[in-house]
Amino acid sequence: MVNEKKTHEDNADILDNDTSQNEQVEVPDNETESSTNEQLSEGSNDFVKEIENLKKQINEKTKKCDEYLDMLQRTAAEFDNYKKRTAREKEALYTDALSDVVKSFLPVLDSVDRALEVCGKESTKESLAEGIELIGKQIQAVLKNLGVEQIKSIGEEFNPELHNAVMHVEDEAYGQNVVVEEFQKGYIYKERVIRHSMVKVAN
C-alpha cells in the first residue's frame, strides 16, 4: 500500500512538472506571435504612409504640369497673335511707304501728260526738249526727297560695289582703274545699292 501511494504521488509530480513545462513553452509562443503581429502592423502602417506620401507628390507634380501646360498654351496663343499683328503692321507700313512714293511721282506724271498734249499741237523742238528736261529735274527732285542719290561714276575709281564694268579700254590719258564713261546711271539709298552704274573702265 505504501508503495502504491508513493507511486501515485510520483505520477502526480510528473504530471505537475509536465504541465508546468507546457505552460512555460506556450507563454513565449504567445509573446512571439504578438510581437510579430505588432511588427507586421508597424510595417503596414509605414507602407500606407509611403503610399500616401507618393500620392501627395504625384498630385503636386500633376498640378505643376497643368500649370506649365496652361502657361505654354497661353504663350503659344500670344505668340500667334504677335505674328499676326506684326504681319498686319508690316503690310500697313509697306502700303504707307508705297503710297508716299506714288504720291511723290504724281506731279511728274502730270508733267508727262502735259508734254504729250503739247506734242499733239504745234511745238518746236526746243520747247519739247525743255519739257523733257523739266520732267527729268522733277524726277531727280523726287528721288532726292526720298533719300535716293545718284552714284558718282565718271572720273571716279572703279568700285565693284557701286559700278558694273561692261567695257574696258587702254588709254594712257587716264589713270589706273578709272571710270571714263557711263552707259546707265546707278542709284543708292543710304548704304544700299538700288542699281549699279553701268560703266566703261580705263586701264
- Report the pLDDT value the prediction gives residue 6, as an integer from 0 to 100: 45
Cα gap 34→42, rounded to integer Å: 12
Name the CATH code of domain 43-146 (choices 3.90.20, 3.30.70, 1.10.20, 3.40.50): 3.90.20
- Report the pLDDT value the prediction gives residue 122, as an integer from 0 to 100: 66
Largest CA distance in the chain: 181
Cα gap 87→81, rounded to integer Å: 10
Which part of the chain has CATH 2.30.22.10? 149-203
Give φ, ψ of 161 to 5 degrees: -80, -20
- Report the pLDDT value the prediction gives residue 33, as an integer from 0 to 100: 59
Which part of the chain has CATH 3.90.20? 43-146
Cα gap 39→45, rounded to integer Å: 10
* pTM, entire model: 0.58
Say if CB 157 and CB 182 are below 8 A apart. no
List the pLDDT tens digit at each of the 203 positions of the chain. 444 444 444 544 544 544 444 444 444 455 555 666 666 666 677 788 888 899 999 999 999 999 999 999 999 999 999 999 999 999 999 999 999 999 999 999 998 888 888 776 766 778 788 888 889 999 999 999 999 999 999 999 999 999 999 999 998 888 899 999 999 999 999 989 999 999 999 98
- Residue written as cell 509562443? 29
**Domain 149-203 is classified in which CATH homologous superfamily?**
Head domain of nucleotide exchange factor GrpE (2.30.22.10)
Cα gap 49→55, rounded to integer Å: 10
